[in-house]
Every structure is written in C-alpha cells, then in structure tokens.
Structure 1
Amino acid sequence: MTQTHWPRVWVAFLAGCIGAFQIGKTFASLPTIIGELGLSLFQAGLILSLFSLIAAFAGAGLGLLSDRIGHLRTALAGLVTSAGGSFLGATASGIDMLLISRLIEGFGFIITIVALPSLISRSANDAQRPLVMGIWGAFMPAGIGASMIVTPVLLEWHGWRGLWNDVGMLILLWAAILYISFRGSEDKEETRLGTSDLITNILRAGPLLVVAGFICYSTLYQALTAFLPTMLVQDYDVELTLAAYIGAIVVVGNIIGNVSAGWLIGRGFTPWKLLTVSFIAMGFCASIVFFEFSDPALKAFFGFLFSAFGGMFPGTAFVLAARYAIRPSHMALMAGAMLQGAGIGQTIGPLMVSSVVEYSAQWSSANLVMIAMACIGLFCAWLLRSRT
C-alpha cells in the first residue's frame, strides 16, 4: 500500500476502544456492584480477572483462526458476542450470572482484538506502520479511560445495569460501522496459515519474550488501574465520582506512551531500550502509589506517570508484532499470542494483589507483586536487546 488509509485505521482503532469499554465500565462501577451484591474484595477481583480468562487460554489459537477465516468476519463475530455478554450481565442477580456474562464478554473481546491489528496493519504503508501500530496499542487505555469518564454519569442516571445495556448497544452500533468501512477490503489471495506457521512464528525467542513481557506489563497495569479508585474510596474517603475521574486520567495517560513508542521507533529508537525504561518507571511509580504514606494527590500523580511510561510497552510490542509476523497483514496470530500473555497478566494481577492485600489488610503489600513483576519484565527487555 502506497498511502495509509486513515479513515479505516481510525474506525478499527475505535472498534478496539469501544470493545475496551467492557473493561473500563467495571473499574468505576465496582464499588457500586460490591455494595449491591455484597461481594468480597476477592470476588471483585474475579469480576475483573475472568474477563481475560479466554485470552489467557486461547489468544494464539483464536489469532490463528482469524488469519484463516478472515479478520473482518472474526472482528464482527467478536463484537456481537461481546455485546451479548453485556446484555446478559445486566440481568444478573448474583455473582454466578455476573461471572458467566464476563466470560462471554471476554470471549467476544479477545476475538475482536486479535483480528483488528491485521485490519489496521494492512491499511498502513510501510513508512507509517510503526506509528499506526503505536496508535493501535493505545486502544485499551483510550477505551477504558473514555468509559471511566462517562461511567459515573450513567451510573447516576440508571445504575450499573443500565450501563451494561448502554455498552452492549454501542458495541452493536460500531460493529455495523466497521462492516461498512471494511467490506470488500480483504485480499482474496491471502496466505493460509497452518500449524507449522504457528510453530514458526510463536516458538521463537523474540515472540516468546514479548509474550512474557506482556504478562508482566498486564499484571502491573491491570492491578493498579483496577484497584486505584476502590483504594481511594475505601481508605481515603474520596468521593466515588472523583475517584472514577482520577482513575480515568491515570488510564488515559497510557496513550502518551503508546503513541510515543511508535513515533520513536519510526525514528530509529531501539525497542528494547524503550521496554527497559517502561518497566523501571512502572515499578518505581507503582511502589509510590501503594505505599501507605502517599496521599491521594501523590497517588494520582504517580499513577499517571506509571500509566504514561507503561504505555511504551504495548506501543513497542505491537510494532514488534508486525515485524515478527509472516506478513504485516497477517499478524493476528502474533497479536493473539501477545494478548494471551496479556490475558494471563490481567487474570493473575488483580487476584494476586487482592489476595495479598486482603491477607495483610494493607495496600502496601501489593508492592510485593508489583516490584517482582517489574523486575521480571526488565529481565525480558534485556534479553530482547539482540532480537529487535
């Protein structure tokens, strides 16, 4: 492609953002759900973690499926499935049905997210692909941040069940827009990928290190952004609306790192060095956020820095995914493997943090998890220095 098709890039990017509403809607509404359903902190962690369970077990396999049956078809199926899970969750009267609905939402979300990077990558030319993939890496914080901004208003208007229905309707609407924008765009002669391609593209040191790094990054990011509003409300008497907006600002900060990473790599910066900076900053900032001595304003400031520097990881990782794929237009398999790593981190992060905090009755205990994962991620970045 000689020119980047920016309208398609933005439509697919926004599809990812809207899909990420399924994550962000729980962050700000979690205190309300805990109160209404009488949940423990561990059960609240399950609500956050089960959404990523499908990604943790089947990300690479779903990526391979997307490369074989078509990325547009896969993305549309995922959006419709995710919307259905949201509608089901709105009817939940207890924890069991709510968890089932989160599994359905998670299945639809991961199907969508493994397919969209290929649609975006094929819409970009070679020169602008690093920037475009860096932008794509920001879909999660952009979607989560936007949903956290509007969630307090919708919660006050018609509660968390109404919010669940709103998100489902929005996802269905954007599925139609995605179809209209991309219909007829897929190459009929695309390479078919099989088991040998899975082995060749995934079971190499470079891709595996990126996947391992995604586990560390997602553990850190999901744990901090998920529990920051709850920590501010429960321990520092911050109003729910204000805590939600603080959480949204922290999440949106991640966009800075994503876009900056793509821009810097396009101008010759070494990926492993960006990853090194990202993990060092995340570990330090997370320790300040969870230490007891820091006040809400300090927690918000370092939470924002945590998110901004942390965003350099996914922005860099998606650029590397396009490099590791057989062709830039066939990166669903690599994206699926990375999201499988992300799903593992998103699953274990809130569970580990909620468990140690509940056991010790101190938020500062979360740093046992946060600092350890930052160090492991730093080691992965160091090993990537000769493979990027």
Structure 2
Amino acid sequence: MGPRTTARDRHGPPGAGVGPGRDTTSWGAVLSLMAAGVVGAAQIGKGSAALPVLQDEFLLSSSGAAWFLSVVSAIGAVAGALLGWLGQALGFRRQVLLGLLAIVLANLGGAAATSAGWLLTARVGEGFGFVLVVLAAPGLLPEVAAPEHRRLVIGAWGIYMPLGAGLATLLVPLAITVLNWRSAWLLDAGVTAAVLLAVARWVPSGPARRPQGMGGLLGAFRSPGVLCLAVVFGLYAGQYLAVVGLLPTMLVDGGLSLRAAGLVTGIVFLANVPANLLGAFLLHRGVSRWLLIVAGSGWIAATVWAVHAPDLPLSVRIGSVVAYSLVVGIVPSALFSGVVAMSAGTASAGAAVGLLMQGSSVGQLLGPPLVVAVGSGVSSWTGRPAALACLAAGVLAGGLLYRRLDKPLAPRPGGHDRSSDGRYSDC
C-alpha cells in the first residue's frame, strides 16, 4: 500500500491546472484571465478617450492621431497567426504574463513621454501587449475549466473587448479631469500590474513547447472551419467598429456635447457585455454556434437602419444603437468557442486563435473606412446602413457555411488530439 494521497497532492496548490481527471473549475484562474483581457482591451478605449488631450499637448496631426488609434489593430492584422503560433511554443501562461508586463512598461513609458514619437512608441508597446494577451488567454481557458463549464467560460471570453473598452471610455476622461492624462497612464499601469500578479498566482504553469516545424501554423490556414470563422470575425468587427467607433461624431453632429457623446459611446460598448454573456449561456445550454452567428447577423441588418436614419429623433437613434449592441455580442461568443473547439489540444491551437484575431484586426482596419466611403459615395443617407447590411449578410453566409465546416483540426504530430480523448470535447 503506497503513501496516502491528499486532495492537495491530486490537484496541486490553488490555481493548479485542470487535467483530464480534474472535475472542478479554477474560477480564480478564469477570472484572472478574463481580467487580463479586460485590461488589454482598456488600452483601446483609453487611447480613444484621451486622444483630444494628447492631440493638444503633442500637436498630433490627423494622420498621427489615426496611427495612434490604429497601431493596436495593425499589429494583430499583420502578425496575429504568427504570434499565436510562437506563443504556443513559449507557453500560453508565459505569453499572457509577457503581454501584461509589456502593457505595464508601455504605460510607464507613455506617462513620461515628452514627444509624439515617444508617445507612439509607447503605444506600440501597449498594442503588442494587448495582442499577446488576447491570443494566449483563450488557449488557457480549457485548461482551467471543468468539462461542464468549458463552453460557458470560452463563450464568456468575448466580454473582454466591450467591457475593457467601455470602462476605459467612461473612466479615463474622469481620471484626466480629476488628475491628468499622465496620472491616468500610471493608474493603468498599476491596475495591469495587479492583474499580472493575479495571473501569476492563479493560472497554472505549463511547459514550453517547441513548434512542430511549420505544421502548427500551416494547419490553421489549411482548416476551412478556422478560415471561415476568421473571415466572419473580420466582417463582424468591421461593421461593429463602423457603428460604435463613428458614433461620437454622429452624436455631436446631432447636438450632443463631446463629453455626453463619450458617455453614450461608453454605455453602448458596455451594452455589448450582456450579449456576450447571453451567448455564453446559450452555448452552455447546447445552442449551436452557427445559429448564434446567423441570429446576430439578422439583428445587425434589422437595427442599423434606425441608427443612421436622420429623420428619426436622436433619442430613438441612441436607443436603436443600444439595442443593436445588446444583442450582436452573441456572435463573438460563438466565434471564440468555435475556434477553440476545433483547435484545442492540437499544434495549431495558438495559430488558430491568432488567425481568428487577425481576421478581427483586419476588419477593424478596413471596415470603418469602407463604410464611410460607401456612405460618401451615395447621395442618400442609406449608403452607410446598406454597407453595414451587406457586411451582416456576409456574417450570415459565413455562419451557414461554418455549419458544414465545423470539424476538429488534425492532432499533434507524434501525439494524439486531446479532443479525441474527451479532454476538450465540451468546448
């Protein structure tokens, strides 16, 4: 008879990993990873909220301001899949910690900026850290969640963007008013450092893995299902940013003050959070991912017309955009859940999430200019909502196509696919 085995021996210290035999979820690890995504997304909302002050202090041109806002998306658009693949070799936990550290250092550097070039360099650091975090965290969630909770926690991951960007949009102007923008950057660094410590405390360590040649990276690009979801996310992200990102201008043109427009925009961002949680709950209850994608696309097409109709009272248009945001967030829940379910446990897990985020970043870069160009080229107000409806139709078509392409990727070379032995069968 061998030595007695305690619960601590079986499960390790708090935050220990969830192995195939583990039947409990480490909620400390789940919440730490969610918080990492939120502080990453806060860098996007922070930049937008502080831009008027930064333009005045650093005399940023229109092109400089555009670069300041877009550099975060540009990093993901250029190298999302590659960074995801390399991050899997580094280890997803290490990648999250490295990303959070980059955000801390970038905020400290940005707070000390004395020139526009210095500020933009710090912004690149923020963007790099954000990309590292959001590429790695989805790959860790199946590791820390029990089978019955995996669809729920992976689906809920999508709240990181609206929650982080929305909170930053609301809180950063307040911090700048009470203190100054440099103090807001220092507060951001402090909050991010606290999240870094939480991740280090609760999320289990894992071994670094060497990439299996280029197979893991190429496997993601060769998967029709992953490619389909990446394109769908690009179409979704493009239309969402075109609606919400251009909302302040529409509100100011409608008579609101800049501060009031920022408040409404923050509320619209946050309204997306319940939709993400609803999507996670529906996935947890067994609703098909493709059905959520199709339903979300239909809601987009139904609501964008009222948002942009100039003859409607501004209050009705604001109510329409809030209603829009309250539902469309079910789509990202399905997309994240789908790509993790197809790739978890394979050599392509990191690259697949990276490719999904690359699609989102490309959509964020190209979507708003495309919608504005179509709207400017049409004499009627219907140009913008028509362009948005076309993007929604693409999301719908992608959801129907994904129904046929939802197949797991190939297993790791020389190993086995953890999905096949039940480890991630409930993603």
Residue 208 of structure 1, CA deviation: 0.4
Cα pair 2:296 2:327 within 8 Å, conserved: yes
Q: Distance in 2 between matches of 1:328 and 1:12?
A: 21
Q: Is residue 2:33 matched to residue 1:12?
A: yes
Partner of 1:152: 173
Partner of 2:329: 311
The TM-score normalised by the length of structure 1 is 0.89
- Name the CA shift for 1:325/1:262 in 2 (closer, same or farther; >3 Å): same
Residue 368 of structure 1, CA deviation: 5.2
Instruction: Answer with 69-78 or 29-38: which moved more.
Output: 29-38
Residue 41 of structure 1, CA deviation: 6.1
| 1:311-337, Cα deviation, whole Å (9 max, x unpaired) | 111100111122111428983322111
Partner of 1:84: 105
Residue 341 of structure 1, CA deviation: 0.8
| 1:174-231, Cα deviation, whole Å (9 max, x unpaired) | 212211222xx23449685442122223321111000001111111122222221243
Structure having the higher Rg: 2
Residue 369 of structure 1, CA deviation: 4.0
Partner of 1:370: 388
Q: Is residue 2:239 matched to residue 1:203?
A: no
For residues 373-388 of structure 1, the aligned pairs below 5 Å read 373-388=391-406
Q: Distance in 1 between matches of 2:387 and 2:62?
A: 17
Aligned residues: 385
Q: 2:240 aligns with which of 215, 221, 227?
A: 221
The TM-score normalised by the length of structure 2 is 0.81
Q: Is residue 2:307 matched to residue 1:286?
A: no
Q: Secondary structure at the match of 1:128?
A: helix
Q: Is residue 2:69 matched to residue 1:51?
A: no
Q: 1:132 aligns with which of 144, 153, 165?
A: 153
Q: Distance in 1 between matches of 2:215 and 2:346?
A: 18
Q: Secondary structure at the match of 2:147?
A: coil
Q: Secondary structure at the match of 1:73?
A: helix
- Name the CA shift for 1:287/1:83 in 2 (closer, same or farther; >3 Å): farther
Partner of 2:269: 251
| 1:38-66, Cα deviation, whole Å (9 max, x unpaired) | 66766544432221111001111111112
Q: Distance in 1 between matches of 2:115 and 2:129?
A: 22
Report percent identity of matched pairs: 28
Q: 2:43 aligns with which of 15, 22, 46?
A: 22
Q: Distance in 2 between matches of 1:241 and 1:287?
A: 25
Cα pair 1:216 1:374 within 8 Å, conserved: yes
Q: Distance in 2 between matches of 1:206 and 1:339?
A: 14
Name structure 2 gaps, 5 residues minimum. Answer: 1-21, 407-427
Q: Distance in 2 between matches of 1:374 and 1:205?
A: 20
Aligned AA (1:202):
F
Flag the structure with higher helix content: 1
Cα pair 2:241 2:367 within 8 Å, conserved: yes
Q: 1:231 aligns with which of 230, 246, 250?
A: 250
Residue 338 of structure 1, CA deviation: 0.7
Cα pair 1:118 1:329 within 8 Å, conserved: no
Q: 2:124 aligns with which of 103, 106, 109?
A: 103
Q: Secondary structure at the match of 1:246?
A: helix
Q: Distance in 1 between matches of 2:346 and 2:286?
A: 19
Q: Distance in 2 between matches of 1:186 and 1:62?
A: 20
Q: Distance in 2 between matches of 1:260 and 1:56?
A: 28
Residue 140 of structure 1, CA deviation: 0.9
Q: Secondary structure at the match of 1:120?
A: helix
Residue 104 of structure 1, CA deviation: 2.3
Q: 1:165 aligns with which of 166, 183, 186?
A: 186
Aligned AA (2:267):
I
Partner of 1:300: 318
Q: Is residue 2:90 matched to residue 1:72?
A: no
Cα pair 2:30 2:141 within 8 Å, conserved: yes
Cα pair 2:45 2:166 within 8 Å, conserved: yes
Cα pair 2:220 2:348 within 8 Å, conserved: no
Cα pair 1:121 1:328 within 8 Å, conserved: no
Q: Distance in 2 between matches of 1:361 and 1:241?
A: 30
Residue 150 of structure 1, CA deviation: 1.3
Aligned AA (1:139):
Y
| 1:250-272, Cα deviation, whole Å (9 max, x unpaired) | 11121122122222122222211
For residues 184-199 of structure 1, the aligned pairs below 5 Å read 185-188=204-207, 193-199=212-218
Cα pair 1:131 1:263 within 8 Å, conserved: yes
Q: Distance in 2 between matches of 1:28 and 1:303?
A: 19
| 1:12-34, Cα deviation, whole Å (9 max, x unpaired) | 10111011110111333344445
Name structure 1 gaps, 5 residues minimum. Answer: none
- Name the CA shift for 1:75/1:40 in 2 (closer, same or farther; >3 Å): same
Partner of 2:17: none
Cα pair 1:122 1:329 within 8 Å, conserved: no
Residue 9 of structure 1, CA deviation: 0.3
Q: Distance in 2 between matches of 1:230 and 1:40?
A: 18
* Higher RCO, 1 vs 2 (CA within 8 Å, ≥6 residues apart): 1
- Name the CA shift for 1:51/1:188 in 2 (closer, same or farther; >3 Å): closer
